[in-house]
């Protein structure tokens, strides 16, 4: 005999039937907006440079699907794209010896929650180079 239908009101939409029992559903996500983010500097220091994207705010989850890094002016000895997740560095892409003005793309899926962010690292940069880090994907609100 199936259980009774759960009470309506504040539980409506939060319970589901698994075939035998009514139970609380998992956390719900909903598409909120596209993610279109960028960071840049036109006054890079010589050597290693790091650009951090804004951190994901509380109540949101960001799904990064593509990113690109570029040094407009000079060649670099390497570039690295990282996701900083719960304080840990997750390397998404590393490319050595990148020519001036050549974008280094990354595609995939990096799921970031509150406090997480993307980070771009350029190695062997010339003083005052223009560096760009661009990312896109989508944002979800946590219900």
Q: Residue 78 maps to which CATH number?
A: 2.60.120.260
The pLDDT tens digits of the residues spanning 55-75 come to 999 999 999 999 999 999 999
Give domain status of residue 23, yes or no. Answer: no
Number of structural domains found in the chain: 1
**Which residues on adjacent β-strands are paired with residue 34?**
138
How does pLDDT run along the chain (143 residues), one tens digit per residue? 555 555 555 555 567 777 777 777 666 667 889 999 999 999 999 999 999 999 999 999 999 999 999 999 999 999 999 999 999 999 999 999 999 999 999 999 999 999 999 999 999 999 999 999 999 999 998 86
Give domain status of residue 95, yes or no. Answer: yes
User: What is the domain range of residue 137?
Assistant: 28-142
How many whole angstroms separate alpha carbon 104 and alpha carbon 70? 6
Give domain status of residue 36, yes or no. Answer: yes
Strand order of the β-sheet with 131-142 is 29-41, 131-142, 60-71, 104-112
pTM for this predicted structure: 0.80
Give domain status of residue 22, yes or no. Answer: no
Give domain status of residue 3, yes or no. Answer: no
């Amino acid at each position: 005999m199936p259980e009774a239908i759960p009470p309506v009101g504040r539980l409506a939409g939060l319970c589901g039937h698994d075939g035998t029992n009514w139970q609380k559903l998992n956390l719900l996500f909903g598409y909120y907006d596209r993610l279109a983010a960028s960071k840049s500097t036109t006054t890079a220091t010589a050597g290693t440079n790091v650009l951090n994207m804004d951190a994901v705010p509380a109540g949101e989850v960001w799904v990064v699907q593509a990113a690109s890094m570029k040094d407009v002016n000079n060649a670099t000895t390497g570039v690295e794209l990282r996701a900083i997740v719960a304080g840990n560095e997750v390397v998404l892409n590393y490319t050595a010896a990148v020519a001036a003005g050549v974008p280094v793309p990354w595609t995939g899926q990096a799921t970031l929650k509150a406090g997480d962010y993307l980070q771009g690292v350029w190695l062997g940069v010339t003083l005052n180079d223009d560096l760009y880090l661009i990312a896109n994907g989508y944002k979800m609100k946590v219900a």
